[in-house]
Structure 1
Amino acid sequence: MSRDSLATLIGFVTEHTRITLLAMLLLSGVVAAGVPMVDTGSQASADADAFDHLDRVQTSQTIQEQFAATDDSPNRTVEPVYVQLEDGNALSKESLLAGLRYQRAIRENATISRALHDRGVVGFSNLVAVRAAENPNASLSEQIDAIEAASTGEVEALVERVLAEDPRAKRFLPADHDASATTASDRRLLVTLDTSVGDPTLDNATGALYQQASERSSAGFFVLNSHAWNAYSSHFFGEMLELVVPAALAFILVVLGFAYRDVVDVVVGMVGVALSVLWMFGLLGWLGVAAGTVTVIPVVLIAGLSIDFGFHVFNRYREQRADGEGIRAPMHRGVIRIATALVLVTVTAAIGFLANLSNPLPLIRNLGVSITLGVASALVIFVTVVPALKIGIDGLLEHAGVDRRKAPLGHGRYLKPVLGRLVTLARRGAPVVLVVAVLVGAAGGAAWLGLEEESYQQSDGDVAEWKQQLPGPLGWETHPVAAQSEHVEDVYQPASADAAFQEPILVEGDVTRDGTLDALQRGVDDVRDRDLLVDGTGSRAVTSPVTVIQAVAARDDDVAAVVAETDTDDDGVPDRDLERVYDALYEADSDLASRVVAREDGEYQSLLVSLSLDADFANADAVVADLDESAAIMAGDESGRTATVAGSFALNEAILGAIVDGILTTMTVALAAIALTLAGVFRYMHGSATLGLVVAVPIALVLGLVVGGMYLLSIPLTLLTALLMSLVIGLGIDYNIHVGDRYADERREGASTYEALDAAVTGTGGALLGSTLTSVGALATITLVPHPQLQSFGAIVVVALTTAFAVSVLVLPSLLVLWSRHAPGAVTTDATPTGVAQD
């Protein structure tokens, strides 16, 4: 849109306010109709071919291509039910009896019984009860009767015998339980469900399991299935809204009330904020762009940017209105003077946000689109609805005799001297300010190398006591699932090897070389020595060529004979003539052999080791590092082999690294695009491309300071925080454009360097301060939420906005002073400018 077209539009808005409001009301209704169509589903997965260039991803694809898929997987899934008695004994008669009665209840539940597998339900209480009944085939009713009839001492003796004599007991108790101890605060029972019954029946059964356990929570029963987590999520977001929204709104209203000192301006500004967010979601619905599960991010950012737009509209209107003047003319001049700036802010912010379209994660791409649509919506609302509504309300009030003239922010007797000193600092010490800024920014940027990388930040469920003691709905009511999950991960191994995380290692190259299987076994032993494997679950924790060869040799005499002849050190692992060993294995059981030894046209290409790990994503980075060391043992030195870890842990680590690298590229491209855009626009508007480049420079400083802030606050690089780093560009450019373009506008109208700086820093800087205080205060409330991901989000955006404001009023004025000294007269002067200046 040209400057003349923009001026014509604003002229229509300020002259025909009723028509404008009616038209925008109708248009808002049309846009809002798209809100019900918004998709808020998960977008966590990446594009299928986005990471094909990564070694680990290629290895994972090779595994899928070369090795036969197992087709004998059981049609069952194990649902653990946990019993936790922090101050009690989960192995006592009462607790064991409660466990047996729980089993009876779920067996009698029609919803669960329809999905129950033949293996049914088993737990430590059954091991004790069948001994009490003196019948290994005792029914559940007989088990209950036997425990009820036994004395407390008899049950304790039975528990002791089970722990000493039955290896199955370990599966139901914490991993570190001492077999000689007849007391424990924890145990679990395993419910086996038949997956062949179909999703609806299975889902209903797991829901009933959750309900049954919840009814017995006083006895320590709980489950951690999807229904439990759904309940936790609903509770969490409800508590978050009750804590954050009132606090954020209260802070915003207080700051806006102090800044505007006018209820009408506060109300009109908040109407603009609400409409901007509404338009964003409506446009997302009409365009079919998924909003995702992290909609709080665009909502908060657009609310902050909308408040910023409102500050500039109202502040410039107040600056323009002279004593005795009406409303429409100063509003027209004020919006004219800031409209082009708002357009430029929107365009450059969109460049920063839309740079994420190159990201392989749909979540990040769609967030970039969402925020861009929100910024564009705010632009439309704040140059149409907000000025028209402001004119209409002020007109009615003044017609009733209420004086609506207000002093602009930044011109008060307290704030103006403070902002004025920043101009003095730029005039007297610009070189020093610039040197200090470069050093601080460089130090912050260097901290990038020291940031930790994590797939995600996991909540431990802990909530500060003071948050729980807040009055009324503000008080945070804790939900046990997060703490229960962390407790289970700490004390238990996975219920079975199949339920554990699977991490394959692919060995490629000369796999028939002597000693290959010995090296492979040494690598597996190294994994075991690191306590990474699941054990005591009744399932094999390692599947490898060695385990398969040994299993087949145990039932096939020909394979056994070959193994004996090729095992020179009698350790059960063939160490020579391996091609002969593989041939014998394929001849005896080609299906089983194809799962661990890949061959094509008679040539053996690779070996597959599959590990069931006692680990989770919270310590995935350390696990991958350990597995890489074990894989190096399998590869050996100068053996012509490679060994690559290629499971979910390793793939996540590789993908996160690629995304972080990609965001660095994205930020570089976005910075370059914004710099070129500002150079072109400032050349067109003000006759100086170099001025546009000067305005763009501080964005890099803001990025450096944000990185430094992350380092000091111990905020790791995750998918979310890496995304926010790229969004910082869109946030950081806003304030600099406002100050830089206001300076250029004042110079165009004949002001000297320091007069222009004074107008920019005290006038525009005052509006920026109000915007910063409002946005920072509102966003800071997110750090109250007891979840590290959201706390990191709030902290990063607060740091970004604070540093962006500081740079715009501290560093940019010094840059403008130095620029004016070395590029005198570069700004086109025009006593009656037709261009649209900015705030």
Structure 2
Amino acid sequence: MAPATDNGLGHAFADGVARWVDWCQRRAATVLLATLLVCAGAAYYLAHNLAIDTDTEDMLSAELAFRQNAIKLDEAFPQLEDNLLVVLEAPNSDAADYGVRRLAAAMSARDDIFENVYSPESDPYLRKHGLLYLDPNELEALATRLAAAQPFLGTLWQQPNLAGLGDMLSLLAQAGDTATLGEAAAVLDRMAGVAERVRNGEDARLVWSDLLLGAPASAGTVRRLIQTRPKLDYGSLHPAARASDAVHDIAAREGFATDGYRIRLTGSAALESDELKSVEIGMGLAGAISATLVIAVLLFGLRSPGMMLSLFITLVAGLLWTAACAIFLLGSLNLISVAFAVLFVGLSVDFGIHFSLRASEHAGDGVSWRDALARGGRGVGGSLAVCAVTTSIAFFSFLPTKYVGLAELGLIAGIGMFVALFCNLTVLPALLRILVRRAPAFRGGSTILFPAVTRRLSARTIVIVGILSAAISGWVASGARFDFDPMNLKDLNAPSVETLFDLMDDGVVHPYSAEVLANGLDEATVLSGRLAALETVEKVDSIDTLVPADQDTKLAIIDRMALFLGPAFFAPAGTVELTDEALQAALASVRDNLQQLAGHEDLGAAATRLSKALAGVDDKAAGSVNAALFDYLPGRLNDLALSLEAGPMDIGSLPEDLKGRYLSAGGLVRLDVLPSGNPRDPEALRRFVTELQAVAPNATGAPVVIVEAGRAVLDAFGQALMISLAGVGIVLWLVLRRIADVLLVFAPVCVAALWTLAISALAEVPFNFANVIVLPLLFGLSVDFGIHIVMRQRGEKAGGHAMATTTPRAVLLSALTTLGSFGSIMLSGHPGTASMGLLLTIAVTLSVIAILVLLPALMHLFMRDRAME
């Protein structure tokens, strides 16, 4: 068997590999002991130093202009970064306001976990000035209703319970004002409805805010939001886990679950945490399936449990060493570089399979297992070394790019190729010598497996079909797209994602809003006007939005309200609770007064309904009815009394927590720009960003980051592709010394890539930030496969055929193990992970077809100095 290369240097290298492999197997015990010690050291180092940076903002270089804008925004408004949005859902508005104040107060007390806890409904300033945010007509209508209710508001202020209701009913019997009676009838009717539900065993409460505002009875869930910046641990796989657990612990301790509340979490911190959980859950099932498939493929392909175990141990050792190198060099892994394991497994197993099968092929020629291992090293060492160099160049090509996440992946994976080469030429021979006593004898494949490439006419036909399919695929591939929106990678069943979409549907949050910084209030006013005039902009919010308009008119109405309502709140406020005796007396008084009002022209129907509802209430249930009717009243009357003290508002009078969300300490003003149309439409989002940046080049926020990050990623891949093609091409020319042979290696790679892009376009499976690692893996595997077959053909004697050796079997087996390892992740519930598994399956399958069908046909036509019959 001729060596794998054609020059003296190649012979010397092959002989050196053979001597090294022979030395390792003769001293197998020493090699494996040293391997065990290094692995133990690496494992210990990783156990104490392994860290994963889950901050997605670090994936792209901070030197990029849009990243600079985002960093400037984060520095000016740190309280808005890495937020956790706590969503409190309650059965009605009174319960929601009461609950959110309790929850916000409890969270604020945990300053070891939460920073800057903020909720508008909990802000005393906004509660005091809340009436100023009403439309003047709405405020006038409210004043009219409260004027009509004034006669009995004072009574309920002092006695917010059944006793006060009894006194109010006595006053109503003497009232003659139509408006007052109308308001009273509405109150009694709502009370009757609540009492009926309580009597039937339901948990009901009278919603006083609806009554005071003249709104229909609350129906469905009412939401209130608390925004906080949790202290995140980016060294953990779940940086927000401590904060999330603390929210739920507080809610449980405060009894929110038993009071009919529901606590949900979203915001960037919760979304990232749930995404990682989704990936972990999906990878659990995929891992079990992958392990089963890989074991089955290796057992079938290698026909030796000892050989399979040797490959597995070599793989684990290489992974440990590569991971330790990564942490030593970088300090931590990121959310993309953790995928180095995917690349390492696929390529390291490829190295091991080629070595093992080549040794088995020699064993099939009748030589001893020891000599077979040495000859296997001589025969495949050159191609493995070339593969390691070319693949590492492909990975290292990302280092100069601005895609930091992929650059770090490239560094680790590139180093990993040399680790894999060393392990498969050092550890694997030692393991095979000990664990494999009788090697399976592989005498190579047969050209019968590839009959179509054994005849010149068939070879031409295959090449022509390959060229035509590549041309058509190139045209179709123009429709392939890169999905830049990370929202499309989320698991729609994740709690934080469900919550976010619910809030988006209700128009409560706008995750696709852009942000612009203005240098001062004057510039902010000018910019707001210019941005609002854009066709793609729906509205612009800024600090000016927080200052109500028409304040003189509204304050005049509030002053008038204070004149007729103020005296009602002079007396000390009472409490809902009554003693048992007082409850019984109050219930009897209410019933008597209701009977007297039964024939009243305006109040009769409502009084009769309430009387019937209370008729079935015994003394023991009186407390439940009292609580149901009046629990929320004191809080609402307190809010009303506070709102009568409202005064003029301006930017200077806003509370710091609120003002600081739009005006930084350094005087920068934040503008919140909402896009019109559907921001999840890529084209609509690009138009919005283009128009936005034309007016405000420093714009940032989700839309800008999505679009600009996509551009940066595409630029990174373009740059890396040019470097890879040039670097790999030069190495292959130096080794092969024939341009035709270099092109033979590249041809199936290019065709497989075009096929993959075309299927991506036809199947509408876009590339994204998760599955993008398929591209370097496809390049690495395809180039390696081509190198193995071309170099094997060059090393064959005259009349030999590479396709009749174990090399194509090794290629096929390597591809099947890669598919078995990672194809199963398409079953993951996480869309990004699933798409990675799907595209990887497509890419590797097409790569094998190109290598085992198209490449032999090309070699038949263009390697005429070798007999291909």
Normalising by structure 2, report the TM-score.
0.66
Q: Which residue of 1 aligns with 2:625?
A: none
Task: Determine whether 1:650 maps to 2:658.
Answer: no
Q: Describe the shift of the 1:617–1:745 C-alpha distance in structure 2 as closer, same or farther (beyond 3 A).
A: farther
Q: Which residue of 1 aligns with 2:505?
A: 490
Q: Which residue of 1 aligns with 2:299?
A: 257
How far the C-alpha of 1:505 sits from its partner, in A, is 8.8
String of CA shifts for 1:621-678, please: whole Å, max 9, x gaps: 455445357659xx8xxxxxx6657223225413421330331232133112212211
Which one of the candidate residues 414, 422, 429 is aligned to 2:458? Answer: 429
Q: Describe the shift of the 1:15–1:246 C-alpha distance in structure 2 as closer, same or farther (beyond 3 A).
A: same
How far the C-alpha of 1:459 sits from its partner, in A, is 5.5
CA contact (8 A) 1:302 1:371 kept: yes
Q: Describe the shift of the 1:24–1:247 C-alpha distance in structure 2 as closer, same or farther (beyond 3 A).
A: same
Distance 2:81 2:44 in 1: 45
Q: Describe the shift of the 1:181–1:57 C-alpha distance in structure 2 as closer, same or farther (beyond 3 A).
A: same
How far the C-alpha of 1:388 sits from its partner, in A, is 1.2
Q: Which residue of 1 aligns with 2:746?
A: 696
The runs of 5 or more residues in structure 1 that have no matched partner are 85-89, 166-179, 396-403, 464-477, 552-595, 597-606, 636-641, 828-839
Q: Which residue of 2 aligns with 1:475?
A: none
String of CA shifts for 1:775-823, please: whole Å, max 9, x gaps: 11221111111122212222222222212211111111111112124xx
2:732 alignment partner AA: L
Structure with bigger gyration radius: 2
Q: Which residue of 1 aligns with 2:6?
A: none
Structure-to-structure mapping, 1:511-526, within 5 angstroms: 521=529, 524-526=532-534
Q: Which residue of 2 aligns with 1:372?
A: 414
Q: Describe the shift of the 1:446–1:673 C-alpha distance in structure 2 as closer, same or farther (beyond 3 A).
A: farther
Q: Describe the shift of the 1:371–1:646 C-alpha distance in structure 2 as closer, same or farther (beyond 3 A).
A: same
How far the C-alpha of 1:384 sits from its partner, in A, is 1.2
How far the C-alpha of 1:744 sits from its partner, in A, is 0.8
1:408 alignment partner AA: F
Which one of the candidate residues 390, 409, 415 is aligned to 1:348? Answer: 390
Distance 2:80 2:342 in 1: 45
Q: Describe the shift of the 1:138–1:626 C-alpha distance in structure 2 as closer, same or farther (beyond 3 A).
A: farther
Distance 2:808 2:350 in 1: 12
CA contact (8 A) 2:462 2:857 kept: yes
Which one of the candidate residues 393, 412, 435 is aligned to 1:393? Answer: 435
Name the SS of the counterpart of 1:338 in structure 2. Answer: helix
CA contact (8 A) 2:517 2:699 kept: yes
Q: Describe the shift of the 1:731–1:216 C-alpha distance in structure 2 as closer, same or farther (beyond 3 A).
A: farther
Name the SS of the counterpart of 1:458 in structure 2. Answer: helix
Task: Determine whether 1:285 maps to 2:327.
Answer: yes
Q: Describe the shift of the 1:135–1:394 C-alpha distance in structure 2 as closer, same or farther (beyond 3 A).
A: farther
Q: Which residue of 2 aligns with 1:169?
A: none
CA contact (8 A) 1:249 1:778 kept: yes
Name the SS of the counterpart of 1:612 in structure 2. Answer: strand
String of CA shifts for 1:751-791, please: whole Å, max 9, x gaps: 22xx324425xx21112111211211221111111122212
Distance 1:181 1:820 in 2: 85
2:708 alignment partner AA: A
CA contact (8 A) 1:256 1:774 kept: yes
2:53 alignment partner AA: G
Which one of the candidate residues 7, 24, 31 is aligned to 1:20? Answer: 31
Q: Which residue of 1 aligns with 2:423?
A: 381
Which one of the candidate residues 11, 17, 20 is aligned to 1:6? Answer: 17
Q: Describe the shift of the 1:803–1:323 C-alpha distance in structure 2 as closer, same or farther (beyond 3 A).
A: closer
Q: Describe the shift of the 1:136–1:727 C-alpha distance in structure 2 as closer, same or farther (beyond 3 A).
A: farther
Q: Describe the shift of the 1:333–1:192 C-alpha distance in structure 2 as closer, same or farther (beyond 3 A).
A: closer
Q: Which residue of 2 aligns with 1:51?
A: 64
Structure-to-structure mapping, 1:394-793, within 5 angstroms: 394-395=436-437, 404-408=438-442, 411=445, 416=446, 419-424=449-454, 427-458=456-487, 479-494=494-509, 501-504=513-516, 521=529, 524-526=532-534, 531=538, 540=544, 610-613=671-674, 619=680, 621-622=682-683, 624-627=685-688, 644=697, 646-648=699-701, 649-683=703-737, 688-746=738-796, 749=797, 751-752=798-799, 755-760=800-805, 763-793=806-836
Q: Describe the shift of the 1:282–1:117 C-alpha distance in structure 2 as closer, same or farther (beyond 3 A).
A: closer
How far the C-alpha of 1:322 sits from its partner, in A, is 4.0
Distance 2:22 2:213 in 1: 86
Q: Describe the shift of the 1:539–1:299 C-alpha distance in structure 2 as closer, same or farther (beyond 3 A).
A: same
Name the SS of the counterpart of 2:764 in structure 1. Answer: coil
Q: Which residue of 1 aligns with 2:49?
A: 37
Q: Describe the shift of the 1:162–1:620 C-alpha distance in structure 2 as closer, same or farther (beyond 3 A).
A: farther
Q: Describe the shift of the 1:259–1:181 C-alpha distance in structure 2 as closer, same or farther (beyond 3 A).
A: farther
1:612 alignment partner AA: V
Q: Which residue of 2 aligns with 1:600?
A: none
Task: Determine whether 1:208 maps to 2:246.
Answer: yes
CA contact (8 A) 2:354 2:380 kept: yes
How far the C-alpha of 1:707 sits from its partner, in A, is 1.5
Structure-to-structure mapping, 1:797-812, within 5 angstroms: 797-812=840-855
Alignment root-mean-square deviation, CA: 5.1
Distance 1:487 1:417 in 2: 61
Distance 1:283 1:630 in 2: 46
How far the C-alpha of 1:23 sits from its partner, in A, is 3.1
How far the C-alpha of 1:125 sits from its partner, in A, is 13
Distance 2:762 2:155 in 1: 61
How far the C-alpha of 1:703 sits from its partner, in A, is 1.9
Name the SS of the counterpart of 1:358 in structure 2. Answer: coil
Distance 1:384 1:64 in 2: 51
- Between Structure 1 and Structure 2, how many residues are aligned? 672
Q: Which residue of 2 aligns with 1:834?
A: none
String of CA shifts for 1:673-730, please: whole Å, max 9, x gaps: 21221111012xxxx4532332233222222122123213323243444454244322
Q: Which residue of 2 aligns with 1:561?
A: none
Distance 2:228 2:273 in 1: 22
String of CA shifts for 1:556-595, please: whole Å, max 9, x gaps: xxxxxxxxxxxxxxxxxxxxxxxxxxxxxxxxxxxxxxxx
The 10-residue stretch of structure 1 (478-487 or 106-115) with the greater mean CA deviation from structure 2: 106-115
Distance 1:658 1:801 in 2: 26
Name the SS of the counterpart of 2:516 in structure 1. Answer: strand
How far the C-alpha of 1:19 sits from its partner, in A, is 2.7
Distance 2:49 2:155 in 1: 58
CA contact (8 A) 2:61 2:67 kept: no
Q: Which residue of 2 aligns with 1:555?
A: none
How far the C-alpha of 1:351 sits from its partner, in A, is 1.0
Name the SS of the counterpart of 2:436 in structure 1. Answer: helix
Name the SS of the counterpart of 2:225 in structure 1. Answer: strand
Q: Which residue of 2 aligns with 1:813?
A: 856
How far the C-alpha of 1:449 sits from its partner, in A, is 3.3
Higher relative contact order structure (alpha carbons within 8 Å, sequence separation ≥ 6): 2
Name the SS of the counterpart of 1:356 in structure 2. Answer: coil
Q: Describe the shift of the 1:10–1:625 C-alpha distance in structure 2 as closer, same or farther (beyond 3 A).
A: closer
String of CA shifts for 1:197-248, please: whole Å, max 9, x gaps: xx9xx99877533433477567433222577457635643442342121111
Structure-to-structure mapping, 1:86-105, within 5 angstroms: 91-92=91-92, 96-97=94-95, 100=98, 103-104=101-102
Normalising by structure 1, report the TM-score.
0.68
Name the SS of the counterpart of 2:39 in structure 1. Answer: helix
Q: Describe the shift of the 1:712–1:247 C-alpha distance in structure 2 as closer, same or farther (beyond 3 A).
A: same
Q: Describe the shift of the 1:421–1:164 C-alpha distance in structure 2 as closer, same or farther (beyond 3 A).
A: farther
Distance 1:22 1:112 in 2: 52
